[in-house]
């Protein structure tokens, strides 16, 4: 009956009949039944319109195939674990920094029931949300005070609105950047209610450029990390230290948006220096903000450290409540910050574990996979270049190893084939070759990656 030709609108099977067909049962069971019913209704309606236009020959088998394809495509839009073989460790589209299983296990019991989210266990009364998290953050950063909101864009919006609403904010033209997802610094400044005052030029900004633009209308001086944008050649910018001195002379607060933000020295492990949160605080920045899910290696959050007076002002802003974290985020951040305070980040934080794996170790892993696959023709283990990602150190190439598929394997076909695996494997195409870069592949993902390669070769 499944290949029965549909000639008239009344020939279409009923929605419930299709949902109950044995040939569709397994597919329908993968999604909520009301959603499956909605899909079937839409497909019937679309095909009735096609039939009416007399531009299609429709069978019940066609309907079943379309229902199956649509539901399976919908299912793949749900959140699922993927293997990141792109070579970008902090990959924005793949969830940025991978969360540590060790730290996640530690918070399971805390977040799955009731908890003292806003309850003071010592006094037996209402308490402050995230108090321990803020204490750990201040201690780690070396700051007077700190607080946390739901992402760094929110942190910047809150700071600008709280300290400089309807006032001018000085910022170098070279720092009016756009980062991933179309997020533009000028746009967030406009929405915060401040007046943007550009100083300097695109490539050169001096301290006098800031000083010449100071006026009674100035609310604050803003310095922004360029994130994934780099300038080269005839360039100059003002470091945070001289800006702080200028701000103090004129009693204007200075805010440093670090973007990714990092708590440990990066030169030894990454070959290039990224400014740390502690350096910003030591330089005297009144407030410093940064992300929680990039080089910190945690959950999405906007972390703010600095002056106790200014942090209190942020918390009094009604916007602060719209940006607060839930118990899961606070619990994870508490454990993450504790790990940094104990110096255990290389043992417990997945991001630093991945970044710490040497090129020789990656080569051994790649060779082992090839050996286990009996050295298939057209595959090689080759030196590649990986990246930190997340807007941090954009010019830093991390030495890595990739499993490279010869050009006889059509790269776009391989890309789609691996993307449709379970679990999906996301690689990259470079020089017309498909590459599975091992830099961001965790050790416990090597076996499923090997199995995925075996299935793809078949």
**DSSP letter for each residue of 429-445:** EETTEEEEE-TT--GGG
Q: Nearest to residue 143, comparing CAs of 317, 263, 316, 274?
A: 263
Q: Give per-residue pLDDT as tens, 170-189.
A: 999 988 887 766 678 889 99
Backbone angles phi and psi of 336, in degrees to 5: -65, -50
Averaged pLDDT for residues 147-157: 96
Least confident of 18-22, 234-238, 283-287: 234-238
User: How far is it, in rounded angstroms, from Cα 328 to Cα 239?
Assistant: 36
- For the chain, what are the domain ranges? 5-75, 83-95+352-457, 101-348
Question: 395: buried, middle or exposed (CB in 10 Å: 19+, 13-18, 0-12)?
Answer: exposed
Would you say residue 393 has pLDDT above 90?
A: no
User: How far is it, in rounded angstroms, from Cα 407 to Cα 410?
Assistant: 6
Would you say residue 394 has pLDDT above 90?
A: no
Structural tokens at position 110: 């805390």
Position 245 scores a pLDDT of 97
Q: How far is CA 306 from CA 34, 54, 123, 248, 253, in A?
A: 50, 69, 28, 15, 11
Q: Give per-residue pLDDT as tens, 207-266.
A: 999 999 999 999 999 999 887 666 666 778 899 999 999 999 999 999 999 999 999 999
Provide, rounded to the nearest whole percent, the portion of the chain with pLDDT above 70. 96
* β-pair partners for 402: 382, 437
Chain centre distance of CA 44: 39
Question: What band does 6 get if pLDDT is binned at 50, 70 and 90?
Answer: confident
| Best CATH choice for the domain 83-95+352-457 from the list 1.10.3190.10, 3.90.1150.180, 2.10.260.10, 3.40.50.720 | 3.90.1150.180
User: How far is it, in rounded angstroms, from Cα 87 to Cα 180?
Assistant: 18
User: How far is it, in rounded angstroms, from Cα 409 to Cα 432?
Assistant: 10
Fold of the CATH domain 101-348: 3.40.640
Q: Give per-residue pLDDT as tens, 419-446.
A: 999 999 999 999 999 999 999 999 999 9
pTM: 0.91
Position 84 scores a pLDDT of 98
């Amino acid at each position: 009956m499944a290949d029965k030709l549909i000639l008239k609108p009344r020939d279409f099977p009923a929605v419930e009949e299709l949902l109950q067909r044995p040939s569709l049962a397994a597919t329908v069971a993968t999604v909520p039944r009301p959603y499956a019913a909605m899909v079937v209704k839409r497909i019937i309606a679309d095909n009735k319109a096609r039939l009416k236009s007399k531009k299609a020959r429709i069978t019940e088998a066609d309907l079943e195939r379309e229902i199956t394809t649509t539901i399976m495509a919908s299912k793949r839009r749900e959140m699922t674990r993927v293997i990141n073989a792109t070579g970008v460790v902090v990959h924005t589209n793949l969830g940025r920094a991978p969360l540590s299983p060790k730290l996640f296990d530690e918070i399971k019991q805390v977040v799955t029931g009731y908890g003292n989210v806003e309850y003071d266990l010592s006094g037996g009364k209402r308490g402050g949300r995230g108090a321990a998290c803020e204490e750990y953050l201040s201690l780690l950063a070396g700051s007077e005070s700190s607080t946390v909101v739901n992402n760094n864009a929110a942190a910047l919006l809150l700071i600008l609105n709280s300290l400089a609403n309807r006032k001018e904010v000085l910022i170098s033209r070279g720092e009016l950047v756009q980062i991933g997802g179309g997020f533009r610094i000028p746009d967030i400044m406009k929405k915060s209610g401040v007046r943007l005052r550009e100083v300097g030029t695109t490539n050169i900004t001096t301290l006098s450029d800031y000083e010449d633009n100071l006026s009674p209308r100035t609310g604050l001086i803003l310095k922004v990390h360029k994130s994934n944008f780099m300038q080269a050649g005839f360039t100059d910018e003002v470091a945070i230290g001289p800006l702080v001195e200028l701000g103090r002379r004129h009693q204007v607060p200075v805010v440093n948006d670090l973007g990714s933000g990092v708590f440990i020295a990066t030169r030894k492990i990454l070959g290039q220096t990224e400014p740390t949160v502690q350096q910003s605080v030591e330089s005297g920045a009144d407030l410093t903000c940064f992300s929680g899910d990039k080089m910190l290696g945690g959950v999405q959050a906007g972390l703010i450290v600095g002056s106790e007076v200014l942090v209190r002002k942020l918390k009094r802003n009604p916007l602060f409540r719209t940006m607060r974290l839930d118990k899961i985020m606070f619990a994870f951040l508490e454990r993450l910050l504790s790990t940094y305070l104990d110096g255990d980040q290389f043992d417990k934080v997945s991001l630093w574990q991945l970044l710490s794996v040497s090129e020789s170790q990656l080569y051994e892993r790649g060779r082992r996979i090839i050996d286990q696959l009996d050295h298939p023709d057209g595959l090689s283990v080759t030196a590649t270049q990986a990246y930190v990602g997340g807007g941090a150190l954009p010019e830093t190439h991390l030495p890595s190893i990739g499993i490279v598929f010869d050009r006889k394997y059509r790269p776009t076909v391989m890309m789609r084939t691996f993307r449709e695996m379970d679990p999906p494997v996301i690689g990259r195409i470079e020089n017309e070759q498909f590459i599975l870069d091992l830099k961001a592949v965790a050790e416990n993902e090597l076996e499923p990656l090997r199995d995925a390669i075996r299935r793809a070769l078949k």
